[in-house]
Structure 1
Amino acid sequence: MRWNRLLSVLPLSVGIVSAGRSLGHAPAGKRLAEKVAPQKLKNTREQIPHQIYEREINAPLFLNSNTSKFAVNGSGIPDVDFNVGESYAGSLPISSDPNEKSNLFFWFFPSTNPAAEKEILIWLNGGPGCSSFEGLLQENGPFIWQYGTFKPVANPWSWHTLTNVIWVEQPVGTGFSTGTVTATSEEDVAKQFMGFWKNFVDTFSMQGYKVYIAGESYAGAYCPYIASAFLDASDKTYYNMSGMLIYDPVITLDEVAEPIPTLQFVEYWSGLFPFNDTFKADLIARDKSCGYSDFVSQYLVYPPEGHMPATLPGTYPNGTTRDECWSIYYDVFNAATALNPCFDIYQVATTCPVLWDVLGFPGSFGYLPAGATVYFDRPDVKAAIHAPSDVAWAECASGDVFVNGTDLSPPSNLEALPNVIEKTHNVIIGHGALDMILLANGTLLGIQNMSWGGKVGFQSRPQEPFYVPYNDGIMQDENVTLSTLAGGGVFGTVHTERGLTFVGVDLAGHMIPQYAPSAAYRHLEFLLGRVDCMNCTKPFTTDATAGQSTQPLGKGTAPQGWSNNNKGGQ
Structure 2
Amino acid sequence: MTWIQSLLSLGCLAAVVGRVASLSGVVENPTAQPWNVSRLADPGSIDAAFSTKTVVDDQGLQWSVWTHVQFTDYALRVTSNSTLCDPNVAQIHGYIDVGIGKHFFFWFFESRRNPSTDPLFLWLNGGPGSSSLIGLFMELGPCQVRAGGTGTTVNPYSWNSIGNIIFLDQPVDTGFSYSDNASAATFTSADAAKDVYAFLQIFLAANSQYRHLPFHTLGESYGGHYVPAVARAIVDNNANATANATSGLLPINLVSIAIGNGITDPLNQYSSYPLMAADTKYGPIVGSDVIATVQAAVPTCLNMIRGCYQTLNSGICSNATDYCNTYVLDGAFVNNRNIYDMRVKCSVNVVDCSDYPMMDDISTYLNLNSTLVSLGLNRTFVMSSDVVYSRFTGSGDWMMPYVNDIPPVMAKGISVLIYAGDADYICNWIGNKAWVLNLTWPGQRQFQNTSDLIWISPSTKQPAGEIRSYDTFNFMKIYGAGHLVPYDQPQVALDMITAWTNSSKYFVKGSTEPSASAASDLSVSRRQGVVWAAIAIVLSSLVSISGIF
Relative to the length of structure 1, the TM-score reads 0.65
Question: How far is 1:148 from its partner?
Answer: 8.9
Native 8 Å contact 1:143 1:153 kept in 2 = yes
Q: Are 1:252 and 2:246 an aligned pair?
A: no
User: Partner of 1:529 in structure 2?
Assistant: 502
Q: Please list every run of 5 or more consecutive structure 1 residues that lacks an aligned counterpart in the other structure.
A: 1-7, 20-63, 296-308, 338-342, 355-360, 471-486, 539-546, 558-570
User: Partner of 1:111 in structure 2?
Assistant: 111
Structure in which a larger fraction of residues adopt helix: 2
User: Partner of 1:397 in structure 2?
Assistant: 385
Query: Within 1, Cα distance between the matches of 2:115 and 2:396?
Result: 40
Native 8 Å contact 1:448 1:457 kept in 2 = no
What SS is found at the alignment partner of 2:330? helix
User: Partner of 1:30 in structure 2?
Assistant: none
User: Partner of 2:291 in structure 1?
Assistant: 283
Query: Within 1, Cα distance between the matches of 2:172 and 2:324?
Result: 36
Structure in which a larger fraction of residues adopt strand: 2
Question: How far is 1:508 from its partner?
Answer: 0.7
Question: Percent identity over the alignment?
Answer: 20
1:358-507 paired onto structure 2 within 5 Å: 364-365=354-355, 374-386=364-376, 388-389=377-378, 391-400=379-388, 403=391, 405-407=393-395, 411-412=400-401, 414-453=403-442, 455=444, 458-460=447-449, 462-470=451-459, 487-507=460-480
User: Structure 1 residues 118, 289: CA separation in 2 closer, same or farther (over 3 Å shift)?
Assistant: closer
User: Partner of 2:254 in structure 1?
Assistant: 241
Equivalent position amino acid for 2:382 in 1: A
Query: Within 2, Cα distance between the matches of 1:144 and 1:350?
Result: 21
Question: How far is 1:517 from its partner?
Answer: 1.7
Native 8 Å contact 2:417 2:476 kept in 1 = yes
Query: Within 1, Cα distance between the matches of 2:141 and 2:338?
Result: 23
Q: Are 1:70 and 2:79 an aligned pair?
A: yes
Q: Are 1:262 and 2:273 an aligned pair?
A: yes
Native 8 Å contact 2:138 2:144 kept in 1 = yes
Q: Over residues 352-406 of structure 1, what are the superposed CA-to-partner deviations in whole Å (9 max), with x where a residue is unaligned?
A: 569xxxxxx98623769999962212222122223x31x2212111312685754
Query: Within 1, Cα distance between the matches of 2:204 and 2:115?
Result: 20
Query: Within 1, Cα distance between the matches of 2:405 and 2:470?
Result: 18
Query: Within 1, Cα distance between the matches of 2:122 and 2:454?
Result: 28
What SS is found at the alignment partner of 2:409? helix
User: Structure 1 residues 267, 116: CA separation in 2 closer, same or farther (over 3 Å shift)?
Assistant: farther
Q: Are 1:194 and 2:191 an aligned pair?
A: no
Query: Within 2, Cα distance between the matches of 1:505 and 1:286?
Result: 26
What SS is found at the alignment partner of 1:220? helix
Equivalent position amino acid for 1:349 in 2: R
Question: How far is 1:452 from its partner?
Answer: 1.7
Native 8 Å contact 2:95 2:105 kept in 1 = yes
What SS is found at the alignment partner of 2:341? coil
Q: Over residues 487-527 of structure 1, what are the superposed CA-to-partner deviations in whole Å (9 max), with x where a residue is unaligned?
A: 44211110112311100000111111111122222332233
Q: Over residues 511-544 of structure 1, what are the superposed CA-to-partner deviations in whole Å (9 max), with x where a residue is unaligned?
A: 1111112222233223323564589999xxxxxx
Query: Within 1, Cα distance between the matches of 2:219 and 2:134?
Result: 11
Native 8 Å contact 1:16 1:366 kept in 2 = no
Greater mean deviation of Cα atoms: 107-116 or 149-158: 149-158
Equivalent position amino acid for 2:260 in 1: Y
Question: How far is 1:147 from its partner?
Answer: 6.9
Native 8 Å contact 1:450 1:456 kept in 2 = no
Ranked by relative contact order (alpha carbons within 8 Å, sequence separation 6 or more), the top structure is 2
Query: Within 2, Cα distance between the matches of 1:107 and 1:186?
Result: 21
1:16-35 paired onto structure 2 within 5 Å: 18-19=9-10
Query: Within 1, Cα distance between the matches of 2:359 and 2:260?
Result: 30
Question: How far is 1:90 from its partner?
Answer: 1.1
User: Partner of 2:338 in structure 1?
Assistant: 344
Query: Within 1, Cα distance between the matches of 2:448 and 2:279?
Result: 24
Greater mean deviation of Cα atoms: 152-161 or 454-463: 454-463
Native 8 Å contact 2:341 2:483 kept in 1 = yes
Q: Are 1:183 and 2:186 an aligned pair?
A: yes
Query: Within 2, Cα distance between the matches of 1:218 and 1:525?
Result: 23
Query: Within 2, Cα distance between the matches of 1:286 and 1:405?
Result: 22
| Count of aligned pairs | 434
Equivalent position amino acid for 1:257 in 2: Q
Equivalent position amino acid for 2:81 in 1: V
Native 8 Å contact 2:109 2:164 kept in 1 = yes
User: Structure 1 residues 394, 320: CA separation in 2 closer, same or farther (over 3 Å shift)?
Assistant: closer
Question: How far is 1:114 from its partner?
Answer: 2.3
Equivalent position amino acid for 1:203 in 2: A
Equivalent position amino acid for 1:228 in 2: R
User: Partner of 1:300 in structure 2?
Assistant: none
Q: Please list every run of 5 or more consecutive structure 2 residues that lacks an aligned counterpart in the other structure.
A: 11-53, 55-62, 66-76, 243-249, 303-308, 533-549
Query: Which of residues 186, 207, 229 is equivalent to 1:225?
Result: 229
Question: How far is 1:443 from its partner?
Answer: 1.4
User: Structure 1 residues 493, 153: CA separation in 2 closer, same or farther (over 3 Å shift)?
Assistant: same
Equivalent position amino acid for 2:292 in 1: I
User: Structure 1 residues 381, 173: CA separation in 2 closer, same or farther (over 3 Å shift)?
Assistant: same
Query: Which of residues 212, 215, 220 is equivalent to 2:219?
Result: 215
Question: How far is 1:195 from its partner?
Answer: 1.4
Greater mean deviation of Cα atoms: 263-272 or 198-207: 263-272
Query: Within 1, Cα distance between the matches of 2:413 and 2:122?
Result: 16
Q: Over residues 455-490 of structure 1, what are the superposed CA-to-partner deviations in whole Å (9 max), with x where a residue is unaligned?
A: 4683225521122112xxxxxxxxxxxxxxxx4421
Q: Over residues 119-155 of structure 1, what are the superposed CA-to-partner deviations in whole Å (9 max), with x where a residue is unaligned?
A: 4110110111111000000111111237799963211
What SS is found at the alignment partner of 1:429? strand
Question: How far is 1:444 from its partner?
Answer: 1.9
